[in-house]
Amino acid sequence: MSAKSLKIVILAAGKGTRMNSPGSEGLPKVMHKLAGLPMINWLIKSAEQLSPAQIIVVTGPDMKDLEAAVQPHTTVIQPERNGTAGAVMAALSALEGFDGNVLILLGDAPLLKPDTMTALIDAAGQSGLSTLGCVMQNPYGYGRLVLDKNGALEKIVEEQDASEAEKTITLVNTGAFCVEGARLSRWLKNINNENAKSEYYLTDLPQVAAKDGVATAVAMTNDPSEVQGCNRRADLSSLEKTLQNRLRFEAQENGATLLDLETVYFHFDTRIGVNVTIEPNVFFGPGVEIGDNVTIKAFCHFEGAKIASGATIGPFARLRPGVELEEDVRIGNFVEVKKSKIGKRSKINHLAYVGDTDMGDDTNFSAGAITVNYDGFQKHQTIIGKGVMVGSNVNLVAPVKIDDGAFIAAGSTITEDVPADSLSVERTKAEVRKGWAATYRKLKQSKKKKSA
């Protein structure tokens, strides 16, 4: 990369009206999330890898949420949304006296990679101005890079202003530029708004620079998905797909096995250890940490859960926020666990609910058993010791404590603490009335005949 110092300007003032977000002004376009993180933050994460002297985010008026999201980086306001050149003009106060490289990026093209940014900076090293191009099979909506007969950039023309011949060009402008800071202010002041939208286009920079005898260098990316912009919800879905593919690849590179890539969805903060196997149709929400040698079977949903090494989860399991599973725990099919710590080697194998619980090591929580943690007003805790056997279809009515080695008989509803190594049975006495069912059926059939 160029030895010059670097500042990065990210243009993020767009309202995103075509996203149809709720509210009087709507959610700013760049605050729509990809893998749980606003798209602007994905771009900032990449930009930070270049270690710039400053990152400046250009926002619109009344975008407090956006300003908060990009902290601790600098924000400036573009008071009038009058085009991309107008947005960069708004950043000039933060660039005053800076003569290094200024990298200009679009906040709604969030998946640009650090290596591509570096290539764009390097391309500007000779002339002081570069733009990022990409060949697209369907270039509709993008500005076109018009080259002269020698292959040098002549101008950039927007879709609305392009002739029919220019619209056939597949080499497009991605919106990213690198400019020598000492010349930026003067070049911006020479841009006019004589175009179809009466806006000040940053894409006019090459023609303005040419008047100074400066040729614009073109850096290229061969990956159209890297520079895709976002204007509609459909674009957001497409960006999500691209990002998820990156996260899946990263998980595999770090030692996870994904049996069906396209059906595993990660959150931006998902952490996965080595030798983890993830079967199809698994969703990771925020705050999930997976240890080494874990097997996650199909159709599981996780949020806010920490899973230690050797655990086996699923299929069809749900782990909600506040779950901590220790080593070699087994959570089976149709089990939901919430705000609970499950000790080493304990098993909750099927058809169970465990909430607000502290469970010790080597405990078995059988099919159909639940912790009754909510009384309609408050949540209460269940404490289960080590080596406990909780039989099938047991209700543990919190607050309640089951001490080490206790045995809870199937079908019991436990409302009192159970001492260590005790058997607790809470059932009503069985009553059998012989012949009752036959008599009942005859009575019903007789009434039916009379009413016919």
CATH number for the domain harbouring residue 208: 3.90.550.10
Which pLDDT does position 189 carry in this prediction?
Answer: 94
Residue 282, domain CATH: 2.160.10.10
Which pLDDT does position 22 carry in this prediction?
Answer: 59
Residues 176 and 243 in one domain: no
| 8 A C-beta contact, residue 318 and residue 339 | no
Tens digits of residue pLDDT in 265-283: 999 999 999 999 999 999 9
Residues 195 and 300 in one domain: no
Residue 347 CB contacts under 8 Å (≥ 6 apart), including other chains: 329, 330, 332, 363, 364, 365
Residues 166 and 296 in one domain: no
**Domain count across the chain:** 2
pLDDT for 356 beyond 80? yes
Residues 175 and 313 in one domain: no
- Across 120-156, b (16+ Cβ under 10 Å) vs e yields bbbbbbeebbbbbbbebeebeebbbbbeeeeeebbbb
**Res. 29 pLDDT band, cuts 50 70 90:** very high
pLDDT for 6 beyond 70? yes
User: Using CA atoms, how far apart are residues 234 and 447, in angstroms rounded to an integer?
Assistant: 62
Residues in the chain: 452
- Output the average pLDDT for the chain: 94
Residue 109 CB contacts under 8 Å (≥ 6 apart), including other chains: 43, 174, 175, 176, 227, 228, 229, 230
**Which of 57-61, 195-199, 215-219, 347-351 is predicted least confidently?**
195-199
Any domain includes 449: no
Tokens of 344: 């080493």
Among 189, 210, 227, where does a domain finish? 227
Report the catalytic residues.
350
Which residue in 144, 121, 122, 126 sits closest to 134, CA to CA? 144
Give how far the C-alpha of residue 106 lies from the chain's centroid of Cα atoms, to the nearest Å. 19
Residues 350 and 285 in one domain: yes
Which pLDDT does position 2 carry in this prediction?
Answer: 57
What backbone torsions phi and psi does residue 346 show, to the nearest 5 degrees? -70, 155
What is residue 379's DSSP assignment? B
Tens digits of residue pLDDT in 296-344: 999 999 999 999 999 999 999 999 999 999 999 999 999 999 999 999 9
Q: Where are the alpha helices (DSSP H) in 101-201?
A: 114-127, 164-167, 181-189
Tokens of 452: 């016919």
Kindly state the percentage of the chain with pLDDT values over 70: 98
What backbone torsions phi and psi does residue 331 show, to the nearest 5 degrees? -120, 120
Residues 138 and 28 in one domain: yes
Which pLDDT does position 25 carry in this prediction?
Answer: 55
User: Using CA atoms, how far apart are residues 9 and 106, in angstroms rounded to an integer?
Assistant: 9
Residues 212 and 293 in one domain: no
Work out the average pLDDT over 154-180. 92
pLDDT for 361 beyond 80? yes
Residues 205 and 260 in one domain: no
Any domain includes 42: yes
**Res. 18 pLDDT band, cuts 50 70 90:** confident
CA dihedral for 165, 171, 176, 182, sign (positive or negative): negative
The verdict on pTM exceeding 0.75 is yes
Residues 36 and 155 in one domain: yes
Residues 378 and 270 in one domain: yes
| 8 A C-beta contact, residue 134 and residue 109 | no
Residues 185 and 315 in one domain: no
- Domain span holding position 239: 233-424
User: Using CA atoms, how far apart are residues 335 and 325, in angstroms rounded to an integer?
Assistant: 13
With tokens 């006495």, the residue in question is 429
| 8 A C-beta contact, residue 60 and residue 14 | yes
User: Using CA atoms, how far apart are residues 6 and 103, in angstroms rounded to an integer?
Assistant: 7
Neighbours of 428 (CB within 10 A): 6
| 8 A C-beta contact, residue 151 and residue 202 | no
168: three-class secondary structure by DSSP: coil
Any domain includes 200: yes
Tokens of 333: 């099919």
With tokens 């850096």, the residue in question is 219
Q: Calculate Rg over the CA atoms of the chain.
A: 31
With tokens 């900076």, the residue in question is 121
**Res. 24 pLDDT band, cuts 50 70 90:** very low
- Asked if the peptide bond before residue 22 counts as cis, ω within 30 degrees of 0, the response is no
Residues 388 and 242 in one domain: yes
Among 227, 255, 285, where does a domain finish? 227
Tens digits of residue pLDDT in 84-124: 999 999 999 999 999 999 999 999 999 999 999 999 999 99
Which amino acid would we find at residue 148? D
Where residue 379 falls (left for φ over 0; alpha for ψ -120 to 50; beta otherwise) is beta
More confident position, 129 or 160:
129
Kindly state the percentage of the chain with pLDDT values over 90: 83
pLDDT for 16 beyond 80? no
**With 0-12 CB in 10 A as exposed, 13-18 as middle and 19+ as buried, what is 270?**
buried
Any domain includes 340: yes
| 8 A C-beta contact, residue 314 and residue 300 | yes
**Which of 12-26, 176-190, 286-300 is predicted least confidently?**
12-26
| 8 A C-beta contact, residue 354 and residue 342 | yes
**Res. 354 pLDDT band, cuts 50 70 90:** very high
For 245-319, where are the E strands, in sequence order? 256-258, 264-265, 271-272, 276-278, 282-284, 289-290, 295-296, 300-302, 305-307, 312-313, 317-319
Tens digits of residue pLDDT in 418-439: 999 999 999 888 889 999 999 9
Any domain includes 413: yes
